Structure 1
Amino acid sequence: MEVETKIPSSLSSPGFLLFSSICQRTVPEQLHSRNDLVSSPLHSRVNGWSFPLHSFQCIALLLYTYLALVGFGIYIPLLPHEWKYAAYTVSFFPGIGILFAHHLVTHLVAITIDPADQNVLTKKDYNNPMPVFDRSRHGHVIQNQHCYLCEVDVGPKAKHCSACNKCIADFDHHCKWLNNCVGIFRNLSGSINLQGQTQQTGPTSFWGLTCARSVVWRT
């Protein structure tokens, strides 16, 4: 005996059906495996200068330029005359100017370097588009240290980055501030850069407060 189930008219209205269809939509599956690939670009990116540029990368470069211009172009010129030349001397030779230059060089190196696996660097042509990964044939992008997208054998710690669309040697993470991947070759430069930023923070803060105080006294 079949029992007929009647759906209330309120549940069959167009508004409810639309709301129901929205609620039933699912978000893309979150892939946590180190070998999974998600929505990669058509071509592999060479380094942090490859398009598209990331907004965080632009903010970092603009912030560095702003601090340099404000520090050397505004703070020092506003110092009393007898302090001005001493401030320029201290800044550019043994002090803050060197740290600024150190930070800029290491930051640009980290953006410019290609962190790809050695086999990728040797065999890959960045002008050729990347193939589409077929999950029906392979469970992961990298299996048995072979990448089915880059079509090369890679190191045991390599990962195929979805943002750069290539295998990164000793992958650590994809840095939005650099718009590039951080691997073993840039971990050293990153640590040196961090040390430079730490050394720069104290003198820069003291220098800025001293300049501001002198300007207030003059006014």
Structure 2
Amino acid sequence: MSHSLLPDPISSPKGCCARPHGKIAPTHAGGQSEAVTLVLYRSRNGWTLPPTKKQLVVWMHYAYFAVVTLGIYIPLLPSPWNLVSYGVVGGVFFLHLVAYVATVSVDAAHPNVRANNYNSPLPNIHRSQREFIFKDEFCTVCEAEVGPKAKHCWACNKCVMDFDHHCMWLNTCIGRRNYWFFFVMVVSGVILLLLVVIMVLFVFIEHFINPAMLRTAPQFQNVKSSAWLLFLPLAAVKVNTVWLLVLTGFTVLLGLNSLVRMTLLLSFHIHLLRKNISTYDYILREREAERDAEAALKEPSPDVDKSGKQTPATAVGTTSQTVVEIQSLAIESFCALGLFSRGAYSQTGRQFAYFLHSNDR
């Protein structure tokens, strides 16, 4: 079949395409699972309501870092570094915000799907029948001809051109129309977080080494050394040193955690670009390799010769198993650390993280 459909482990209730949009229709007589019809609606973009919990977390991160960076830490820097920081950090933040809005706002669906009425209810296809929704490059759910490269996302309930992944952190699909916006968003996010972490660490260290360097603003002239002013120069808020240190420590930890996640996500997508494959294709390849390894392990063990040495076939099987175990250990380590935005795909005890960013259960 020329089309590729999101595989069942991904479209299962724990997968990236589990969240339906719409209302549940009444159950038909008999109570059979096949008789239950879910009335679904397409998700146009990342602004489609309701937002996901992970999307709300992203918004809170944006608000927090914007407030503490622009309102607390940059004003504490000595001149002219405070002005330089406003320009550099503010510029990168603006680029990141524009890329985020573009990524979330763009409808990644196929043009023929976008031409249809998004308000029309669509029937939910039973999971056992989902691989048969394409007929001669025509999607029977989207009711549109979508071409051989389209993939149907069951979270957004639409066919996406050059599908990469569905990101619950952004509440939208990443495909051909918004992938480069997404990539710029990740790159600018890494740069922004790096600048913020460096700046906050500087404030934290200078507080112990040379606090006078952080008190060059004229508002500090009549303030005791045990007190600090936040949100200068517009609305000075006096706080105790302890509160500033607690806030600074929390900001550093949160910034480092986010920086590590974003850096690994960026590294992952750079790797995909070098291989010229998508996140989705990478998952399929890993799954196929896992199935091949499992099939090899289920084969009968070859005879051992009189010298006690394994035959070449056994040696190859052992090597394959070792490679799979090493790959699994690395992937599960990333998942345990919550990296790659915890895009988790689990099958037969093995977890695979794929973005973000995706990703996201």
TM-score tier (shorter):
0.7 to 0.9
Q: What residue identity is the alignment partner of 1:89? A: L
Q: What residue identity is the alignment partner of 2:85? A: S
Percent identity between matched residues is 34
| TM-score (normalised: structure 1) | 0.74
Match of 2:204 in 1: 212
Structure possessing the higher relative contact order (Cα contacts under 8 Å, 6 or more residues apart) = 1
User: Are residue 192 (structure 1) and residue 184 (structure 2) matched?
Assistant: yes
| Runs of at least 4 residues off by over 4 Å | 134-139
Aligned with residue 87 of structure 1, among 81, 88, 91: 81
| 1:101-120 correspondence runs (5 A) | 101-120=94-113
| 2-structure distance, mates of 1:138, 1:44 | 16
Q: What residue identity is the alignment partner of 2:54? A: F
| 1:1-219 correspondence runs (5 A) | 31-32=8-9, 40-41=20-21, 42-79=40-77, 83=78, 85-93=79-87, 95-122=88-115, 124-133=116-125, 140-216=132-208, 217-218=210-211
| 2-structure distance, mates of 1:127, 1:99 | 37
Measure how far apart 1:56 and its partner are. Answer: 0.8
Measure how far apart 1:204 and its partner are. Answer: 2.1
C-alpha distance 92-138 of structure 1, shift in aligned 2 (>3 A): closer
Measure how far apart 1:68 and its partner are. Answer: 1.1
Question: Could you say what the CA RMSD is over the residues aligned between the two structures, in angstroms?
Answer: 2.5
CA-to-aligned-CA distance 1:193-215 (integer Å, 9 cap, x gap): 22212322332222111122233
Measure how far apart 1:121 and its partner are. Answer: 1.2
C-alpha distance 111-87 of structure 1, shift in aligned 2 (>3 A): same
| 2-structure distance, mates of 1:53, 1:128 | 21
Q: What residue identity is the alignment partner of 2:161? A: A
**3-state DSSP of counterpart to 1:142:** coil
| 1-structure distance, mates of 2:200, 2:134 | 51
Q: What residue identity is the alignment partner of 1:184? A: R
CA-to-aligned-CA distance 1:136-175 (integer Å, 9 cap, x gap): 9885222331100111110212111111111111111100
C-alpha distance 51-171 of structure 1, shift in aligned 2 (>3 A): same
Matched length: 182
CA-to-aligned-CA distance 1:78-120 (integer Å, 9 cap, x gap): 34xxx1x423321232x11111111111111111111110111
Q: What residue identity is the alignment partner of 2:81? A: A
Measure how far apart 1:32 and its partner are. Answer: 4.8
Gaps of 5+ in 1: 1-29
Gaps of 5+ in 2: 1-6, 12-16, 22-39, 212-224, 226-361
C-alpha distance 33-154 of structure 1, shift in aligned 2 (>3 A): farther
Contact 2:46/2:172 (8 A) holds in 1: yes
| 2-structure distance, mates of 1:119, 1:130 | 16
| 1-structure distance, mates of 2:184, 2:109 | 21
Q: What residue identity is the alignment partner of 1:69? A: V
**Which of structures 1 and 2 has the bigger CA Rg?**
1
